[in-house]
Structure 1
Amino acid sequence: MGRGAQSKTSRMRFCRKERSGGYDEKMKRGVVILLSLAMCAGLCACGNPPQTVPTEEPGATLDAGQSTPTPSPAPSAPEQGISEQRAREIALADAGVSEDSVTAIRVKRDVEKGVYVYDVEFYAGGKEYDYEIAAADGSILKKDFEVEDHWYHGGSAPQTGISQEQAEEIALQRVPGAQAEQIRLNLEMDDGRMVYEGKIIHQEREYDFEIDADTGEIISWEEESVFD
């Protein structure tokens, strides 16, 4: 081979090396760029956790400005509170009334403003007493009494066809087992006629009634549980 041919061959090899070297440099740069982009994407993913879109339950929609209602907490049962009998004793002692002088009494457990209480209502000495006692410690929260008001004031009682004792017997016959000390009776004027208006509390039942004071006829009679 002549020198001209050898020189030409050498130049071709040199050009191939240059082209090969340039291609390798481009490949390296591309790999570096791809690695850099991958690292940036990984850092962004770590720094910004995915956010969840809140979902609404089917059918549960709120108007603008309306807040979700929160249920009122249920009152907790008193721990080692007083008994119904103890509430009864506290009320009678505060009123200065003996058990024997009570004509009728009712004790009902209730809830007032999230607090368990005993409502104690009784009649004695022509007065009606009403107490509200905390079931937790027996403290008296409220108390009240009023004098039974007849339609007449002073003087002798008006003449009637039946006596108060007879009216009591008529009412007690409607409640088997009830005793005279469980009845309360007043003589009043109602719609132009004389009536005995009364109440019987027996075996956790309350009976309200009216009896015609002239004929002894039962005009009205209602019955309900003392816990209603």
Structure 2
Amino acid sequence: MNGAAPAASDIIHGAFVRLNALAPLDQTAMSALNAAVARARTVSARTEFQTEGEVAPRVTLILNGWAARTRVMEDGRRQIINFLLPGDLIFTQAADQLAVANLTAVTDLVICDGPDPDVSPSLAAAYTTSRYIEKSFLYGQVSRLGRLTAQERVADVLLELLERHEMAGLAQAGKFAIPVTQEMLADAVGLTPVHVNRVLQSARQAGMLTWKGGMIELHGWSTLRRKCGHQRLRASSFYRGDRSSHSNGHERAESPTP
């Protein structure tokens, strides 16, 4: 159920880092975002907070927690189209547009209505880049499901999640929080949970990843990226950060503090 949101200082860091990385935010944009955060609301884990076919708000900002955009078949099978992370914006083109998918809270979630982008050119620029990124990841999901092997699908989605955590300043040296089950990961990559478990076990045995206590660490992920053909987000030139490779096989992207 929905309730009062936690203090803004506890929830906005990752979301603001991501937006500020897409387009450096001016003071007007920051003030508008802080005002939006003051009206934030919480959604409990496993709650569907938007249903396919219903009228959707024009812009929703994920402040904290994970959500999933899903389609559910008549027989109960579910396809997770993508995960939504702190700083992600959920867009519709018009105020009266109908939602084209379900949105479900994966964890306890904090969201707010996004400020009007017209209040600041820098906020409008962040929105534009975020739309580009969302479309890029959607096309990546289509390619993933249509052309990659099981091993490549799992590796590709984990590399995408790492990159997205980097953008919000929530990853360090290939390590980030991942509050999803193997069943949910299976729904995202179009495989059975048993198949995903086998792929993950093989990756662990090969020393490619460690997944424990809700944290995952990808080892030698530059090599992993080459093996599965993962391409970094082409919108990366829109945000700042050090993309250089380090001798230990890790790459780091440092996002600015708003």
Which TM-score band applies after superposition, normalised by the shorter structure?
Answer: under 0.3
| Larger RCO, structures 1/2 (Cα 8 Å, 6+ apart) | 2
- TM-score, with length taken from structure 2: 0.24
More strand by share: 1
State the TM-score, normalized to the length of structure 1: 0.26
**Larger Rg: 1 or 2?**
1
**Structure showing the higher helix proportion among its residues:** 2
